[in-house]
Structure 1
């Protein structure tokens, strides 16, 4: 007997269930207890675990990405975006990429000091650092922990270039640092807008700021002289793809200088989570959406090959790319931006009992 997804959906959460992760040998399913009594599900509270990281900077060699290093102040993300491609990373912690990903979070308060130590190594070679590529650094718990702001202070002091991706309006708190770094060519920000429909956004991204609020954030960042990219990501076929041009135009009108887009990605446990979500919220479109996605990935839910995973391939993917290019030209948006400066980098000073002679 399959669980009744309609009646078992947690409130204000993106995932419908705690899908079994790929390392767990035991599969768990909800079953009715046999009593014909309607009961409200208990509210899922957010739990935060503190982690003391030994290292912080992660390196990658993906040709699909414009950066080779990133940091993550947090693991998991309370925004709860059901489509988040980072959900499978929670399996490495022995937790579910489903509800655990958005309710059982990990904060890394020592991250600023670990970052300072790594930047101070003699072997370190400066290059733009990305933040927000796995989980959002401006998710709600940042208001309490302030780890992201402390990391920015380290990067600002060192003159290190950084690119941030976020949906969080809390980034406005750090405009003082961001503007100072942007003035020196060390900062750019990407704000992700998936849809302009507030109801759809609340269903897909239950604890992220609504689209109108994100556009207001773009406006404030741009007014402070911070280069902002409007990211129409992810595009969902037969659900949000019709909004591509409208999202780009709204971002441009708010002050974004550049733009990008990515197709919906369903790696590992994200695919069953996404399909559960469709069954609850859009059962009438579920087959059509999945058919389009599989059409772009050789009949599979997802194709992880470099050069294919971000946008897919085939007639539909080419159509979206063509529309995107036409919209960029019409709106005066750029796809590529000027490289950030790396010549201002000064490694953090190492603590020493001996005074410097210079």
Structure 2
């Protein structure tokens, strides 16, 4: 077997005052100035904390905005995710690779070793930002991108707390586009919730790419991202077709673990997932059978231990030497070593559960 490839080392330098500002304003979205050094090249960057619950933990995630030169490896923004609650440190990477493998858009993700002001900060996952450059690099038409920024992005008129939403665009933030482009989200949410059952198939097909949405649904159901149905995604509306596609985001709480790193039983998420849009799509026999066919195929070819185990073990072996250097993870290397077996057992159990419940999609 070939020896694992080295992962890149990123060095970030923040002066004392800027670093103190960053730590004193933990919940701020404003960046402080820093320097990024990779492979002897230096970049001026802005750095800020990112995420929600991760900001409360010892090992925090960061957002990097590239300032000068304007791009770093073809992008102007990256996310450095701590993956702190994931004992394996590979769940997000494994998820995004899986989504791409089954034909869904997903951000690129690569592990790095981060040094902060000369000290090792640990192993991080460098995650590509979903923006206009994300589209360009994939040869996609320019369009609009909306982030599902909280759990109000459940495709409903009602919040998860059962209160009426203050606006149709509640739960979404505009990443690419202009303020007036929120009209596309408003139209989408309005029609999902008001179009008559007899007209829904035709009307929703004018707004979303149904086949691609169903491929995404297979991905989120297989990986069992409980939050992935109401947040943890981005919506891309093609300027050419006018149709929405959905892109996964934040996938560390997957493959049998929740956001706290605790066990999530393999049957926790139902076979059809959950949210208002999914419910309406599953109410259309043709769409439901399309979903069943896609799920059957992916369960047979892609979502099984024989197919996924080599990639899991490869990811684990590549980052293991660096986990030993991670001040937040090195003392629990035994948990890291055992987690691949946990993930593989989850795949076996989840796959069996989904195969047993395919009949519910008839």
| TM norm structure 2 | 0.33
Higher strand proportion, which one? 2
| TM norm structure 1 | 0.33
Higher helix proportion, which one? 2
